[in-house]
A and B are shown apart, each in its own frame.
Chain A
């Protein structure tokens, strides 16, 4: 009698794969719009040819640029003006410390941000200066000289004080770019910073209240409390998160989330941070996966050999 098993197997596999294709890749391609990355080029922002002078930049950042009126720069011993929840009450969100801004953010983006924050951040639909809706970060109107040169100097200064781009850690990238709006409870991160461990329950609750106050300001500023990102690597996936960071408007039209302007490398670090939160066992999964696959193939081979032996008498 002819052995029909190969053809039966082919039919089973065929229908299984068709079903899989239709309900997974095909259905998802229909449900979610596809967004391609531009490689964090920020092509819509004009580039500047000017070469910055960090010394002059420092004078501007500390002086006429008035950056330190709101921003702290801890590496340059410029402390925060006020506590995070107070700053959030004033500005909507706590202004970032600039110590490592030069490494985390794209230089061209920073230059454009300094000149026109709402434009660079892509939040002009919310902050339209013509309608009197001012972005909390005041644009830099120039200190009397060539404004483009001055901006380039300031960026050069920020780069000079920051760590080298290769030294940016996942935590540093995340805290700078995302952490002032988003909590990551699985990493004990609140928008005000890492929650310390308190001995006294009263202190712990007092901290929580500050976080709630901070979140009230955030809610007023953003329209809603930005989501906790603990499991985002599983709920959204790498591609979505990466393209969202590059330009939130691509994925969520009209969202209040600003384009944060990180470099491609920093975006990767942010994603690594999210993996450390929501997919901690990924290395173990890969390692054990390999071992289990090797074992199970051996299992199948032995089962096959046993069957062959048993069936020798049956034919």
Chain B
């Protein structure tokens, strides 16, 4: 049995029972981060802050939202937007944060790809991150159903129809997911449950996994350099703060994180108050009507690239390629056969082109996914979709040809 002495202070009392000093060391002051990083390394902290914004605003929305097909639209647009004090603010924060969180996720992802941060023991960081991406996508989609506007309804209709599997005609599966022949009360009820309970729990668990996956391989740095964390941290603790290649997570790295977060929040609140239209589609301010399709149906911007991979092909091939696009990023650590874990620009011409083409092509896909499928847009979309698939098929080949740098 542990030995307890009379506490000399509150801190000591807690220390004996919870080892708070040790916890503080493990989590902050002796959690070592390389110094050779830039502001892109703060995206994780921005995501944490955005997630907290979503969680807090969501809690307040949840108190007034009514998940029934008759009341949902009015509970959002009348009760929350007109009646509840600051209800509009929570809703705008929630809507804008849901959109901005994907921007940051994409920046975070492409940072990881650029600096090779999924290699050399960091595979689980990448995989847990991609699982988080899937969980966030589910969260975003289920949340989009809740205001029960025209876009909620028709996005729900179109996306659940995908589960019929094209020529497989698995209508029973679609009806099972919906709990009805069309999106209706059962559908809204279950997506409400997913959005406020099951998926958030999964997200929080995955965030824990994502952070845990970071502990052993440590954070990557700008040059992919193998930092000897033990030696460098000893140097730091011995007083050579300037000479050491590492710094404390708290408060050294934290202070920079907060600076970047501060700048991010200026951008974020500008969107919340002055430019929220991109995150809250006008069409969704029309109540759901199962007998009237909106002229243009498109998902939120962050799903557009994968939607565009579905669209230019016939339904079966489209679904296969769509499925491919959904999961392929998860396998990146295993498709990249290169021995190098350095920034993309130093890995030779092939991978350099691969990286920037992937980024640009995904932006092209995103743009085409929203534009009406007519004329030249269809052709550009088709070409971009084929390029996307081809790039992934080519990745193992070009990376195995890469020379060690």
Contacts and interface: CB of A to CB of B under 8 A. Distances in A.
Contacts of A22: 363, 366-367, 370
A304 B261 CA distance: 10
B278 interface: yes
A206 interface: no
A131 B92 CA distance: 52
Given A8-B39, A231-B286, A285-B88, A31 B265 contact: no
Contacts of B39: 5, 8-9
Contact of A311 (B36, B77, B252, B278): B252
B133 interface: no
Binding site secondary structure of chain A: helix
A136 interface: no
B208 interface: no
A296 B258 contact: no
A18 interface: yes
A24 B298 CA distance: 12
Interface stretch (B134-142, B190-198, B266-274, B328-336): B266-274
Contacts of A310: 251-252, 255
A227 B273 CA distance: 28
Contact of A237 (B82, B251, B273, B282): B282
Interface in B346-372: 359, 363, 366-367, 370-372
B263 A300 contact: yes
Interface stretch (A50-58, A59-67, A286-294): A286-294
A203 B189 CA distance: 34
B78 A234 contact: no
A141 interface: no
A26 B367 contact: yes
Interface in B57-114: 77-78, 81-82, 88-89, 92, 103, 107
B262 A23 contact: no
Interface residues on A, range: 35 or more
A47 B371 CA distance: 43
Nearest to A293: B269
Nearest to A304: B259
Contacts of A234: 77, 280, 282, 285
A23 B265 contact: no
Select the residue from A4, A227, A278, A310 with max chain B CB neighbours within 10 A. Answer: A310
A135 to B, nearest CB: 28
Contacts of B77: 186, 230-231, 234, 278
Given A289-B274, A296-B265, A4 B38 contact: yes
Binding site secondary structure of chain B: helix
B278 A299 contact: no
A20 B262 CA distance: 22
A314 B245 CA distance: 9
A236 B282 contact: yes
B10 interface: no
A166 interface: no
B192 to A, nearest CB: 21
Contacts, number: 133
A30 interface: yes
B366 A19 contact: yes
B241 interface: yes
B213 interface: no
Interface string A297-315: 1011111101101110111
B372 A31 contact: yes
Contacts of B265: 296, 299-300
Interface in B20-57: 35-36, 38-40
B218 interface: no
Contact of A278 (B259, B270, B273, B285): B285
Given A303-B255, A314-B252, A235 B286 contact: yes
B17 interface: no
Given A307-B256, A310-B255, A31 B269 contact: no
B259 A303 contact: yes
Interface in A9-34: 9, 12, 15-16, 18-20, 22-24, 26-27, 30-31
B261 A24 contact: no
Interface in B267-299: 269-270, 272-274, 277-278, 280, 282-286, 295-296
A237 B281 CA distance: 11
A194 interface: no
A235 B286 CA distance: 6
A289 B272 CA distance: 8
B259 A307 contact: yes
A24 B278 contact: yes
Contacts of B259: 300, 303-304, 306-307
A297 B262 CA distance: 8
B242 interface: yes
20 contacts: A15-B363, A23-B278, A23-B366, A23-B367, A24-B277, A26-B367, A27-B367, A27-B370, A30-B377, A227-B286, A232-B285, A234-B285, A235-B285, A281-B88, A286-B273, A293-B273, A300-B266, A310-B255, A314-B247, A314-B252
The 10 tightest CB contacts between A and B, nearest first, are A300-B262, A289-B273, A22-B367, A235-B285, A234-B285, A303-B262, A310-B255, A307-B255, A27-B370, A231-B285
Interface of B: 35-36, 38-40, 77-78, 81-82, 88-89, 92, 103, 107, 222, 241-242, 247, 251-252, 255-256, 258-259, 261-263, 265-266, 269-270, 272-274, 277-278, 280, 282-286, 295-296, 301, 304, 359, 363, 366-367, 370-372, 377
Given A1-B36, A230-B78, 15 more contacts: A31-B295, A31-B371, A231-B77, A232-B285, A235-B283, A278-B285, A280-B81, A285-B89, A289-B274, A299-B262, A300-B259, A306-B255, A307-B258, A307-B259, A313-B242
Interface of A: 1, 4-5, 8-9, 12, 15-16, 18-20, 22-24, 26-27, 30-31, 186, 227, 230-232, 234-237, 278, 280-281, 284-286, 288-289, 292-293, 296-297, 299-304, 306-307, 309-311, 313-315
